[in-house]
Amino acid sequence: MSSSLKPDHPGHRVPRTRGATAMNFKSATTGVATKTMRNELARLVQTVQDGPETKRAFDVEMQSFFDLFARYLAEKVKNQALDWDRVKSPAADQIVPYDQLIAPKTKDALSKLAVLKVNGGLGTSMGMTGAKSALEVKDDMTFLDLTVRQIEHLNTTHRVDVPLILMTSFNTHDDTLRIIKKYANQQVRITTFNQSRYPRIYTETLLPVPKTAADDKKNWYPPGHGDLYNALLHSGVLDQLLAEGKEYLFVSNSDNLGAVVDEKILQHMIDTQSEFIMEVTDKTKADVKGGTLIDYDGTVRLLEVAQVPSEHIEDFKSVRKFKIFNTNNIWIHLPALKHVMETDGMELEIIVNPKAMDDGTPVVQLETAAGAAIKHFKNGHGVNVPRSRFLPVKSCSDLLLIKSDIYSLEHGTLVINPSRMFETTPVIKLGDHFKKIQQFQKRFKKIPKILELDHLTVTGDVYFGRNVTLRGTVIVVANEGQRIDIPDGCVLENRLLSGNLTMTEL
């Protein structure tokens, strides 16, 4: 990778792809677009006002973006779509069942472990404005509180020093720094680093949206969790971990409350000398869009829905062919990661994410997924873990489940209430009135008791009082212009409510 972006000039030949006439035309226009982008990025670098160090870091970032952009254009020319006939379900040895793993006899491996949380999300889909990890999810504790509590318990119980690393985005960095001040006295070392900030691209012109390095946040984007490897390297955090003798990194999303350190998986990684392990879990109907592991020409690869040709989408969603999906809980061998980054580099499949600016102008974000790195590592494979290791909070329906009496907390870890008769958790579907967190909080005076609930659907203008108990299947539908108030202390069991009710008659 070249160290600095320099504007192109006439003497600077852009490599051309040979082939048929149409290919040559495409390639020539690609060459122009590549050259133009290089010039635009070089101009952006010149707008940095904050001194040479900041300028150098921004230059490196733009160079990484340029490499991604050039690869995107080259792939468009070659039209290297996935060959669906070569996509197979993973082989038996590519996915290991969790119940075959053996607990370690000693705690030695923990001293070589670090934990990283991907902490760049804003929770905008839930109507939040700050870092999603600052949302209170259980017993007045936030996602971050629970993570810190878990790691602190691990460190104090086993007398180890597992550090916690938070990868933030430019959207959440300041928020995160403010929040972690309160953990100063805990038995946890916390390191934060910022993932890359890439320019959005106009779909029409393939030019970058921002005009200067200091341009408005909305003109930039964090390029997905696949940026983890670049950001770890360029921030110096990778070298810092290796210098401390850390060999293994457990990575997960900060909103996945099931992603706790698991010593069995760590030991399995050591025993099998695997450089990369992805935790997968069985698909349900709710998970049909999740990325999955596939066998592609005998190697294990991650396949995301965005990479699937449209005529094969139903095939991809089928639980028959792809029984598992990626939880984004990933275990990485750090010396191997350093080796890959310094030799071959980390070429991950590009995910094209179409978006629109506030005024409706179409733009493109080029992103990558962390799990796609599996193909770069020796003996990379999946471990099929119980569903309890995948408890993401993506919506207020998820939040209701976590806040309810189905779960209790032990040292920051969610534990299913032993009084629950079924191993599965209830299906909860809250309508648009509950979509934003402020509405959700207003509509539940207190979270209902749902220990014996199988299914809850709520749509329309509905309010829940205190100490409400829901059992079996409960469906509450307030039609347009109607409102339903469920009073304090009410018990609903296998009930369908609809209409305009103030439920004093129950």
Task: Reply yes or no on whether 394 is catalytic.
Answer: yes
Least confident among 10-19, 26-35, 187-196: 10-19
d(CA 204, CA 364): 10
pLDDT tens profile 255-306:
999 999 999 999 999 999 999 999 999 987 777 677 888 888 888 888 888 7
Q: What is the pLDDT of residues 232-248, one digit of tens each?
A: 999 999 999 999 999 99
pTM assigned to the model? 0.89
DSSP H or E run through 427: strand 427-430
**pLDDT on residue 27:** 60
State the pLDDT at residue 96.
94
Q: 346-357: per-residue pLDDT in tens? A: 889 898 999 999
Rounded Cα–Cα distance for residues 251 and 331 (Å): 6
pLDDT in tens, 110-119: 999 999 999 8
**Residue 297 has what pLDDT?**
83
CA dihedral (168, 171, 174, 175) positive or negative:
negative
- Could you tell me if residue 459 is left (phi over 0), alpha (psi between -120 and 50 degrees) or otherwise beta? beta
pLDDT recorded at residue 8: 58
pLDDT at 9: 52
| Distance between CA atoms of residues 205 and 202, nearest Å | 6
Whose CA is closest to 412, among 191, 152, 111? 152
Mean pLDDT lowest among 12-21, 130-139, 171-180, 490-499: 12-21
Residue carrying structure tokens 């984007």? 221
405 neighbors 434 (Cβ within 8 angstroms) = no
In CATH, the architecture of 396-498 is 3 Solenoid (2.160)
> Which pLDDT score is estimated for 127?
85
- For residue 281, the SS3 value is strand
Q: How large is the average pLDDT for residues 383-398?
A: 93
CA-nearest of 331, 196, 341, 232 to 275 is 331
Asked whether residue 406 carries a pLDDT value surpassing 90, the answer given is yes
- Distances in Å between the alpha carbon of 89 and those of 275, 281, 296, 370? 22, 14, 9, 20
Residues forming beta bridges with residue 281, ordered by sequence position:
325
Position 488: which residue type? D
Side chain identity, residue 359: D
Q: How confident is the model at residue 50 (pLDDT cuts 50, 70, 90)?
A: confident
Whole-angstrom distance, CA of residue 501 vs CA of residue 506:
10
pLDDT for the residue numbered 79? 64
Average pLDDT rounded to a whole number, residues 23-51: 83
Q: How confident is the model at residue 18 (pLDDT cuts 50, 70, 90)?
A: very low
Please give the mean pLDDT across all residues of the chain: 88
| 94 and 278 Cβ atoms separated by less than 8 Å | no
Asked whether residue 46 carries a pLDDT value surpassing 50, the answer given is yes
Average pLDDT over residues 162-189: 90
State which fold the 84-389 domain adopts.
Spore Coat Polysaccharide Biosynthesis Protein SpsA; Chain A (3.90.550)
Does 500 have pLDDT greater than 80? Answer: no
Model confidence band, residue 506 (pLDDT cutoffs 50, 70, 90): very low
Q: Which of 35, 283, 323, 394 is catalytic?
A: 394
